[in-house]
Amino acid sequence: MEPVILCPKLQLQTDSREYEVLYHAAVQSATVPGASVEIGVREGGGSELIMRASHGYNRSRVHVAIDPWGDLPYILSGQDSGYHYTDEMRHRCMVGLSTIQYKTGVDVLVMPMCDTDFFERYADGVPFYRAGQDESITRYSLVHFDGPHNLDDIRKEVDFFTDRMSCGSWWVFDDVYLYDHAALETDILAAGFVRQDAPYSPQRPNPIKASYRKVG
C-alpha cells in the first residue's frame, strides 16, 4: 500500500507524478540554510508546492525559479519532443507565482533563462535585498531538477550545485526513467548524498522521482 502524505492543494498546474516526494523534500529542507530552486518551471505547480512547504515551515526561505520558456525546442532522447513551453506560458506562470508569493509571503525570484545562463551569470551569488539587508544567495537547501532530461545537461546542473548545497539539503530529480539516472546516481552519491525517495521506498517499481539528502 502506498504511504499517505498530504500535499497541499495547488492553484498552478503540474505535469508529472509522485509530487509527494518533492513536497516531503521541501518540508524536510525548509529550515536548512539556503534558497530553494526549481530548474524547469512550466506552469509553476512544482514551484508553488515548494513555496507552500516554505510557507508552512520557514517563510523566510527564498525560492529561485529557472526556466527560459520562449518556445525553445525541448529535446528528449535526442529528438524534439514537440512540447511547447511558450511565451504565454511564461506570462501565466509569472502571474501565478506572483500571486502565490503575495498570498504566502514567500519570496520568489523568477529567472527567465536557461540553467546554463544562470550558472554563468550567478556563480558568485544571486543579489537579493530584504528588510534593509543585502542577502546575496550563495547557498541552497533544495533543488528540483526538472528542466532538460538529458544526462549531460543534468550533470552540468549537479556540478554547479554540488559545492553550494548546505548540510541536510535535498535534491529531487523528476522523470528519472527518461535518461540513465543510474549513471548520474554515482555522481550524486560521490557528492555526499544518500537516496531517500520518502515517502516511498527507493526499491518501488518504476519510480518517477528520486530524492536525495546531503549527509555530513
Ligand X SMILES: C[S@@+](CC[C@H](N)C(=O)[O-])C[C@H]1O[C@@H](n2cnc3c(N)ncnc32)[C@H](O)[C@@H]1O
Q: How large is the angle between the packed helices 45-57 and 19-28, nearest 10 degrees? A: 30
Told to check if 67 binds ligand X by CB under 6 A, we report yes
Which CB sits closer to ligand X, 96 or 148? 148
CA–centroid distance for 10 within its chain: 16
Told to check if 74 binds ligand X by CB under 6 A, we report yes
Told to check if 39 binds ligand X by CB under 6 A, we report yes
Stated length of the chain: 216
Binding ligand X by CB under 6 A: which of 23, 85, 145, 173? 85
Binding ligand X by CB under 6 A: which of 21, 146, 179, 211? 146
Cell numbers at 92, concatenated:
501565466
- Please list every residue from 156 through 175 that binds ligand X, using CB under 6 A: none
How many C-beta atoms lie closer than 10 Å to residue 183's C-beta? 10
- In 105-150, which ranges are continuous DSSP H helix? 115-121
Size of site (CB under 6 A) for ligand X: 21
Told to check if 69 binds ligand X by CB under 6 A, we report yes
The residues facing 189 across adjacent strands are: none
Told to check if 147 binds ligand X by CB under 6 A, we report yes
